[in-house]
Amino acid sequence: MVVYHADRAAHLREDLVATLVQAGVLAEGPWAEAFRQVPRHVFVPRLFVPAPRGGWVAVGADHPDFLSLVYRDDVCVTQLNGSEAAWEQAAADGVVHGVPTSSSSMPTIMAVMLAALDARPGDTVLEIGTGTGYNAALLAHVLGDGAVTSVDVDPDVHARAVRALAEVGRHPRCVVGDGERGVPEHAPYRRVLGTCAVSRLPPAWPAQAEPGGVVVTTLNRPLGAGLLRLVVRDGAATGRVLREDGRFMPLRAHRQAWADEALHRARRAPAAITRPTPLPARTALDPLSGFEFFAGLALPGVAVGLDPVRLVHPDGSWVRHRGAVVDEGGPRRLWALAEDAHRRWRSLGRPRRHRFAFTATAARQWFALDGSELTWDL
296 neighbors 223 (Cβ within 8 angstroms):
yes
Q: Which of 105, 150, 199, 317 is catalytic?
A: 105
| Element of type H or E holding 325 | strand 325-329
Beta strand pairing call for 309-312 and 303-305:
antiparallel
Q: How far is CA 191 from CA 117, 317, 323, in A?
A: 7, 40, 45
What letter does residue 201 receive in the DSSP assignment?
-
Residues 6+ apart with CB under 8 A from 205: 126, 128, 182, 192, 194, 215, 217, 237
**What is the Cα gyration radius of the chain?**
21
Distance, CA of 298 to CA of 32 (rounded, Å): 39
Distance separating alpha carbons of residues 37 and 29, to the nearest angstrom:
12
Reply yes or no on whether 102 is catalytic. no
261 burial via Cβ count (<10 Å: 0-12, 13-18, 19+): exposed
Count the alpha carbons within 13 Å of 189 in the hemisphere toward its beta carbon: 29
**3-state helix vs strand vs coil in the chain, percent to 5:** 35, 30, 35
User: Catalytic site residues?
Assistant: 105
